[in-house]
Structure 1
């Protein structure tokens, strides 16, 4: 519980930190969307010490629409095509998360994707980083699971609804929004694809998550492209 002095100090510090923020800092947001976000956040900060500055920023980000998704039985056709394309057939090693960073571009209106795997499922999810784009290159990043304490591997049987990928957690990043949480997809049984309309300027993070597997590497066939 805050004392009166601590509340005064917290309020003063927070007002100072927020004074440099403006609604123009957040694409798609206008001041009439919140009566008094600073006062609201100060009240939260004073009464709950677990509140942080990024909560205010996250609250001001525009909502993200869900993606359009589909599945196809044309596994063999997609795999045969992607085997001939550079960097479209990769191995996601046990315990690893592969994140494809896809920046928005002025000449397109949406991002599209397709993927499939050999033999076993893989986790898949999509996030959007509102940070202004500084490069138009699509890049791939590999990271290890933060769940090293897990002692047993998930059974890789049939995928059920709600079987969320344990290895992927939303980063404590004030500019990051969730489009599709990471779930294990039966991409070894059908092609999984989809698209998402650009919500504004930023970078998509497409996560292929094999962090739950202690023993099995996954062969992934994927492609990401833009559409007008």
Structure 2
């Protein structure tokens, strides 16, 4: 995958404007039974439960850890399947916090609403997105494509070796569902 420079100008040597992202290793993905035991562990720990409404995509942003070399994830759902995928955002200075992004769809059309300064003027409104909070787009590589998984029948597990510094994006995608909200039980951690 190549990225072109964003300055919009053409140069005599296009090679100067192109850079290659490093290759990404394939993830290891497997499943296990004992889904009820896993969900009970997550419930009793009082962490790692998400409600993904119909038509919604939740993305958990997990930065790489300095003392880790791999990311591990596990998840299951109640009653129905869910689409899941993993991407890696190349970012040498990621925010150290794990965060959650909520999107109503894959469309970026909704983002245009916030581009108008008229909606960014109230500095006291903590819920309004601030222009300085919007981050620049970093190059992203797909680690595990987003597909529907039978996470209501077995625990979906996986791991991936860090390709460098950045942020893992765990995407829980319920955008295809018109009526059903899904409950997700998940755990993500790093190791050596």
Query: TM-score, normalised on structure 1?
Result: 0.64
Give the CA deviation at 1:183. 0.3
Let me know the Cα RMSD of the aligned residues.
Answer: 2.0
Query: C-alpha distance in 2, partners of 1:194/1:121?
Result: 17
1:146 and 1:206, CA in 2 relative to 1: closer, same or farther beyond 3 A? closer
* Residue number in structure 2 paired with 1:75: 35
Runs of 4+ in 1 over 6 A off after TM superposition: none
Higher relative contact order (CA 8 A, sep 6+): 2
Q: Which one of the candidate residues 50, 53, 61 is aligned to 1:90?
A: 50
SS, match of residue 42 in structure 2: helix
Larger Rg: 1
Query: TM-score, normalised on structure 2?
Result: 0.76
Higher strand fraction: Structure 1 or Structure 2? 2
Tell me if 1:197 matches 2:168. no
Consecutive unaligned residues in structure 1, runs of 5 or more: 1-11, 17-37, 42-52, 148-172
Q: How does 1:155-194 map to 2 (within 5 A)?
A: 175-194=139-158
Query: C-alpha distance in 2, partners of 1:181/1:71?
Result: 17
Query: C-alpha distance in 1, partners of 2:101/2:80?
Result: 22
Higher helix fraction: Structure 1 or Structure 2? 1
Query: C-alpha distance in 1, partners of 2:187/2:151?
Result: 14
Consecutive unaligned residues in structure 2, runs of 5 or more: 1-7, 108-136
Give the CA deviation at 1:133. 2.7
